[in-house]
Amino acid sequence: MTQAHPVAPHSGAPMPFGRLITAMVTPFAADGSLDLDGVARLATHLVDEQHNDALVISGTTGESPTTTDAEKEQLLRTVVEAVGDRAKIIAGVGTNDTRHTIELAATAEKAGAHGLLVVTPYYNKPPQAGLVRHFTAVADATALPVMLYDIPHRSGVPIATETLVRLAEHERIVAVKDAKVDLIATSWVTSRTDLAIYCGDDATTLPALAVGAVGMVGTSTHFTGPGTKRMIEAYEAGDIATALALHRQLLPLYTGIFRTQGVILVKAGLTALGLPAGPVRSPLVPATEDEIAQLRLDFAAAGLDLPG
């Protein structure tokens, strides 16, 4: 099918959402309510200071399981107003209920989202035929480009290569957030489709680029954005040595941010830097003193500073 998106010069693949995307945390006030001023300030920081081309709102790192549909709409409208003129805003709308996902997609489209992130239905573990029906129904119901989210260690079900090849035929299914961490499967998808693959595992972004990915949807990129952007651009320009050096430099934080659930350490790091974050919502718990101390070591090992 024909894509009208920018093309990455090295890989030749379409880039519907740029190269660097952060799955943004949701800043909360001390009482656990939305901090919409903080949401706008953090989005601005991620675009202007961390060099993100796009942001995912209400993804896993945004604590989407514990925000209401109304809160998701508020979050999205706030971010679109703050940075939607200079970054693509992708709304996380995936659930394990096709009807509910379509409802969220419609709301996101009205709120000004530039694209949708749709995760594999979780817990109910549908067969591949069910995944095709689910993703196709969502894509049929919207005019927005859709990024599928393949993360079997959370959803319980991988999106099989043949399923991705079939779904790639849909004109609005244009990308995959690939957190499967299976470079052979990724290679088959990039060789057989024009889906834009965005690595969903921070530490394997460089290897993913080597098999045809165009960029990443990151968590550590709340802090590593500039270096990660340089790594991706160096690889795309054919400067593999520079890309590898940056990968090695940032690896301690690419991995360290996941020593516990990623959002917990991202919020701890943002708080230490004086940026909007606030508490996590239950059942998540705040980072411990030992976890924060280790996070500072991970920052230092990556050539970055975390005050404290």
Which residue out of 88, 177, 180, 267 is catalytically annotated? Answer: 177
User: How many whole angstroms separate alpha carbon 42 and alpha carbon 34?
Assistant: 13
Task: Give the 3-state secondary structure of residue 145.
Answer: coil
Q: Are 118 and 147 in contact (CB under 8 A)?
A: yes
177 is catalytic: yes
Give the containing element (helix H, strand E) for 92: strand 88-92
User: In terms of residues, how long is the chain?
Assistant: 308
User: How many whole angstroms separate alpha carbon 180 and alpha carbon 183?
Assistant: 8
Give the containing element (helix H, strand E) for 297: helix 289-301
149 is catalytic: yes
Q: Are 43 and 79 in contact (CB under 8 A)?
A: yes
Q: Give which of 41, 18, 39, 15 is closest to 29, Cα–Cα.
A: 39
Q: Compute the CA torsion angle 251, 256, 257, 260 (nearest 10 deg).
A: 150
Both tokens of residue 227? Answer: 């270096």
Which residue out of 88, 149, 229, 254 is catalytically annotated? Answer: 149
User: How many whole angstroms separate alpha carbon 175 and alpha carbon 117?
Assistant: 9
Matching residue, tokens 């998701």? 72
The catalytic site residues sit at: 149, 177
